[in-house]
Structure 1
């Protein structure tokens, strides 16, 4: 037993030497940027192994396991060389060395976090931010960071992350294109750097009926008037719109423009003149002459006429005045009793008045009484030579002698109904010599003339 303890230290030293020999006899694999070096170093640590094999490392390189650790049991040492990285973030340059290859990791190393909507360009081409970039060449990345934009669209609100120089570009990149007629506030050309919030009103299809045709367009205007202005159809003068220009756009999108105009028209109306009679002793009975000619007057009215789409729909009289007063006509009527003669089939007659009358005829049984009657208003027996006249003439000329060509001499001795507005006589006959009359004829009033014959016949 004493001999065993005496040899124990020597045995321990021999075992240690044996273990070291076995340890150093195992190979070590050094992987550097995809290449593997095999070595049998006389070193215990990773750092010593790398130094013995001539693999130089910098502080930016990544060594697995770390260089101050013992050589791992599997004998594998990995060295990841740092490469130059050049970042351009929203126009700001950054340069450093890094063993990272994923763009997101490189951005994080530069102090930036990537968010949805950010764009990473490698050599000008978009890349996946979490996909490592292969190779050991310097890395050049351009990072366009998306800006948040709060978009209010037709009452709803959402936040977009987009890139671009202007608001228009940012919305397009975010999948929100602007369509014809859309209204964006602020303007689509507003720099994105100054636009954190925008309001978008989507245009609706509208049909404008104007001047006999339909115009199809799009509009996001808040009112009918604004939509018409956008379409270059602003209301002018008295024009009106249906619906009213201050109304919101109609649900059916149909707007009618009514062209309205007014014009002033002067209308002239003739004013009749009156005619007065005055006696004229230089004229024989039943003759007349114009002493003063009459003139028509003129009445003028000022009218406002309203047209809608070329059709008159209203007319208003705004004033009237007499431009010229009528001038009355003065007619002289004869009062002179002038005895004249005329040759007739019945001989020469002497008369003081000649009047055109409408002559009819009657007889005792041709009076429409349903019976025969020979009586007259004067008491004379009805037969040829009795002349009936209207009551007004009968009162003036009862018993007067007259001559009617084709009838002969007669005496006014009866009253008939007459024909309104016409000088009329009814020529009497007996049944045996009755002749039908229905014509105009001259009737002569025979002398002697009465002292004051009526100048105007009723």
Structure 2
């Protein structure tokens, strides 16, 4: 009987030891699993990463954003921005965004500048480039447009100035008929005088070049004085006891020439009364009366006879020397 009880007790003790060992092992495994779960959840972070507008969710052991990018094999280029900054420690549920820069060209103040910036407004891009805009400056494209890869921004400097100038005012010419003067003759009665006008303009410049001029005001400082000219209307005169009518009168510088052995430009033999003229002033064939010479006809020309010059024919060299050079009144007869 005692042997049976002893055996039972031994078996009971063995079962108790096995139960204790199982419970101990179970508790140990639970502790290890819990520790591992805690360590994993503490160091393994869930991050939302957005690159070039595409977002993905990932888990990482990285401690900060720099390590995260290295872990993901993401390279940053000049001008790229990371939000938050690279030194920011990672925390579960954090959102990280990489904004890629684009290359743009800015034309301003006669210079070209190339730079890389993350997409932003044109105005913000100019500010980043250190280019200040005046209130009237024009930007192409518009200030609020978002820049993109390869865009060119042109800044046009616009300035408006007020300019005041004094300008001359032309005088008018008043022609008054005068029956005491021969037709073709004029006489200055009153000399004209220019007036003065002050004019104010609003001038717009773009990059230093004038593009628009607007009249603001005008003030006459001095009125112009009209020029008065007496115009002859007398068409008949009496010379040498004869009265003749004429188409016009002109003053001319007269020289004299004599026989050369050549015929005139109209084919006639020169004689007293033959006159060389400028055909653009006095048509060839015109009948003339020349004070101090008498009647004549325009039949010849000369290389030096231009404008209001004439050359009258005389019979001898002596007569031409006596004539010399004189100012005469020439009547073009009807």
Scaled to the shorter chain, the TM-score interval is 0.5 to 0.7
The aligned counterpart of 2:67 is 173
Distance 2:324 2:100 in 1: 91
Distance 2:146 2:324 in 1: 81
Which of the residues 293, 318, 321 maps onto 2:214? 318
Asked if 1:255 corresponds to 2:152, the answer is yes
Distance 2:215 2:122 in 1: 37
Which of the residues 203, 207, 215 maps onto 1:304? 203
Distance 1:421 1:303 in 2: 47
The aligned counterpart of 1:68 is 17
Q: CA deviation at 1:68?
A: 0.9
Which residues in structure 2 correspond to 1:210-289 (within 5 Å)?
210-233=108-131, 235-252=133-150, 255-264=152-161, 265-266=163-164, 269-276=167-174
Instruction: Check 1:180–1:442 CA distance in 2 against 1; reply closer, same or farther (3 A cut).
Output: closer
Distance 1:246 1:194 in 2: 36
Bigger radius of gyration among the two: 1
Distance 2:137 2:322 in 1: 72
The aligned counterpart of 1:370 is 267
Which residues in structure 2 correspond to 1:180-191 (within 5 Å)?
181-183=79-81
Q: CA RMSD in A?
A: 5.5
The aligned counterpart of 2:326 is 441
Q: Which has the higher helix share?
A: 2
SS of residue in 2 equivalent to 1:68: helix
The aligned counterpart of 2:237 is none
Distance 2:324 2:211 in 1: 51
The aligned counterpart of 2:193 is 294
Instruction: Check 1:242–1:67 CA distance in 2 against 1; reply closer, same or farther (3 A cut).
Output: farther
Distance 1:401 1:357 in 2: 11
The aligned counterpart of 1:359 is 254
C-alpha contact 1:361 1:437 (8 A) present in aligned 2: no
Asked if 1:411 corresponds to 2:294, the answer is yes
C-alpha contact 2:138 2:157 (8 A) present in aligned 1: yes
Instruction: Check 1:328–1:148 CA distance in 2 against 1; reply closer, same or farther (3 A cut).
Output: same
SS of residue in 1 equivalent to 2:17: coil
Asked if 1:109 corresponds to 2:39, the answer is no
Instruction: Check 1:47–1:306 CA distance in 2 against 1; reply closer, same or farther (3 A cut).
Output: farther
SS of residue in 2 equivalent to 1:326: coil
Asked if 1:428 corresponds to 2:301, the answer is no
TM-score by length of 2: 0.57
Q: CA deviation at 1:151?
A: 1.9
Q: CA deviation at 1:194?
A: 9.1
Distance 2:287 2:328 in 1: 15
The aligned counterpart of 1:54 is none
Instruction: Check 1:151–1:436 CA distance in 2 against 1; reply closer, same or farther (3 A cut).
Output: farther
- Paired residues in the alignment total 283
Instruction: Check 1:366–1:430 CA distance in 2 against 1; reply closer, same or farther (3 A cut).
Output: farther
Instruction: Check 1:292–1:357 CA distance in 2 against 1; reply closer, same or farther (3 A cut).
Output: closer
Distance 2:201 2:11 in 1: 118
Distance 1:233 1:292 in 2: 60
The structure whose RCO (Cα within 8 Å, separation 6+) is larger is 2
Distance 1:333 1:242 in 2: 64
The aligned counterpart of 1:158 is 56
SS of residue in 2 equivalent to 1:226: helix
TM-score by length of 1: 0.44
